């Protein structure tokens, strides 16, 4: 009896990916330490203990979400996808009426619910719901059309854009361009692995590249055209700050300039933990990398990037082990979500990319983004947990 129980426990342990748990745990510790430093040297009224307690509570909720999602196998996630998507769209629609007025005044975006001092951003939890829905759409399409042709690939691309369109419209109405970039990154990554021919991918990617380049040129030479189609003053200022961060360091470029100064002044090894000689606005969330850079220098930044690469490698490994088409698309979306967050957040902190309100996964202060990322981790953990039962299953079984 004891031997059987022991073997059962061993099998249970084998289904849990402790490598991913370890990577997320280390990132969480780094995050708590960084928030401790940021809150301790901040000029706002938020106390260090409250900031840490709130982040701990959000982590506890996120861990609960991971544990719950691990109980769902591929078939259950398949059925859950349209429900999650529908709930996410409903929450984003309700924001158009019940958005936080105070946050709108300070940020210009209608992206948050607010109950007292607590805030929630539905678009963050919409990201994993969107990933689940796209994974279902791609799997179903590829099961119906075994042979890829240019015509069927255009059909698939059209389906993916149609499921993305409501989110794009709602984010436009909420005036949240930064979050829209994350959804575009997720969509782009899932298009790449969907089997769509390069005869379609290359022209589409080229079109987006031309449009992006044209938008940047219009910021410099034709700002009136962009203003007519809805670009805001703060968006122009962010691009200006990115193109020339030293031009106006007292206003539009102030946040970026301070972040670059904090990171650059730290040198190779940093100034040491809990040292903050350079003030950086919003460093507890959007600019949290400046805390790590100032405290631990170039080496600390490299270690952090390595931890993210390790986490992404572990998630890719789980994908290959499961051998399940629906899971493969699911994990691609999660990986793209986390990868783009890391790339954009660190890039904007050092001046390589324009400023956006995109947090650093598992490290930045904020519950909505943390819950969204933890849901993504839960989906990946579910793959490993149900690996043996669904190793050779395909999306065909779920129709």
CB 183 within 8 A of CB 167: yes
Vertex 90 angle, CA 85 and 95, to 5°: 130
- Provide the 10 A C-beta neighbour count for residue 147: 5
391, pLDDT greater than 70: no
CA 265 to chain centre: 29
Pairwise CA distance, residues 329 & 262, whole Å: 39
Give the pLDDT confidence of 17-71 residue by residue, as tens digits.
899 999 999 999 999 999 999 988 876 656 889 889 999 999 999 999 999 999 9
Which of 154, 150, 178, 169 is CA-nearest to residue 239? 178
Q: Beta strand pairing status for 118-120 and 113-115?
A: antiparallel
Round the average pLDDT of the chain to a whole number and report it.
87
Write down the pLDDT at residue 176. 87
Burial of 53 (C-beta count, 10 Å sphere; 0-12/13-18/19+): exposed
Report the predicted TM-score, pTM, of the whole model to 2 decimal places: 0.89
Range scoring the smallest mean pLDDT among 59-63, 281-285, 304-308: 281-285
CB 125 within 8 A of CB 88: yes
Both tokens of residue 297?
């220098």
Percent above pLDDT 90 for the chain: 56
Range scoring the smallest mean pLDDT among 71-80, 207-216, 260-269, 294-303: 207-216
Residues in Cβ contact with 281 at an 8 Å cutoff, skipping those fewer than 6 apart: 254, 255, 258, 287
Vertex 124 angle, CA 120 and 125, to 5°: 90
234, pLDDT greater than 50: yes
Burial of 312 (C-beta count, 10 Å sphere; 0-12/13-18/19+): middle
Pairwise CA distance, residues 348 & 266, whole Å: 18
What backbone phi and psi angles, to 5 degrees, belong to 318? -60, -40
Give the residue with greater pLDDT, 386 vs 249: 386
209, pLDDT greater than 70: yes
Token pair 């409903």: residue: 90
Write down the pLDDT at residue 9. 53
Range scoring the smallest mean pLDDT among 148-162, 184-198, 268-282, 381-395: 381-395
What backbone phi and psi angles, to 5 degrees, belong to 70? -65, -20
Give the residue with greater pLDDT, 394 vs 202: 202
Write down the pLDDT at residue 13. 62
Token pair 């984010």: residue: 171
Write down the pLDDT at residue 61. 95
């Amino acid at each position: 009896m004891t031997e059987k129980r022991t073997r059962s426990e061993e099998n249970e342990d084998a289904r849990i990916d402790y490598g991913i748990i370890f990577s997320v745990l280390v990132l969480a510790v780094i995050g708590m330490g960084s928030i401790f430093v940021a809150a301790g040297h901040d000029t706002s009224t938020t106390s260090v203990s409250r900031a840490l307690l709130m982040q701990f509570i959000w982590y506890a909720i996120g861990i609960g979400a991971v544990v719950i999602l691990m109980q769902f196998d591929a078939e259950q996630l398949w059925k859950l996808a349209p429900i999650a998507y529908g709930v996410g769209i409903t929450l984003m629609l309700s924001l158009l009426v019940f958005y936080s007025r105070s946050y709108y005044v300070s940020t210009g975006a209608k992206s948050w619910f607010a109950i007292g001092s607590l805030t929630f951003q539905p678009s963050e939890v919409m990201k994993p719901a969107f990933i689940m829905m796209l994974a279902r759409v791609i799997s179903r399409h590829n099961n119906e059309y075994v042979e890829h042709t240019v015509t069927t690939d255009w059909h698939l691309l059209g389906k993916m854009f149609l499921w993305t369109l409501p989110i794009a419209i709602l984010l436009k109405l909420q005036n949240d361009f930064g979050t829209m970039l994350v959804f575009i990154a997720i969509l782009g990554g899932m298009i790449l692995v969907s089997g769509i021919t390069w005869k379609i991918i290359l022209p589409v990617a080229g079109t987006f590249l031309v449009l992006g380049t044209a938008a940047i040129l219009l910021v410099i030479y034709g700002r009136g055209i962009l203003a007519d189609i809805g670009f805001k003053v703060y968006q122009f200022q962010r691009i200006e700050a990115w193109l020339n961060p030293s031009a106006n360091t007292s206003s539009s470029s102030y946040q970026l300039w301070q972040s670059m100064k904090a990171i650059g002044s730290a040198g190779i090894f940093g100034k040491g933990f809990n040292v903050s000689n350079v003030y950086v606005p919003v460093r507890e969330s959007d600019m949290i990398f400046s805390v790590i850079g100032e405290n631990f220098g170039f080496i600390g930044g490299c270690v952090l990037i390595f931890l993210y690469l390790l986490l992404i490698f572990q998630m890719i490994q789980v994908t290959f082990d499961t051998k399940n088409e629906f899971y493969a698309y699911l994990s691609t979306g999660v990986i793209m979500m986390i990868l783009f967050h890391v790339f954009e957040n660190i890039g904007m902190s050092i001046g390589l990319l324009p400023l956006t309100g995109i947090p650093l996964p598992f490290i930045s202060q904020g519950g909505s983004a943390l819950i969204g990322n933890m849901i993504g981790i839960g989906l990946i953990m579910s793959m490993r947990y149900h690996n043996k039962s669904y190793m050779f299953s395909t999306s065909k079984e779920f129709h």
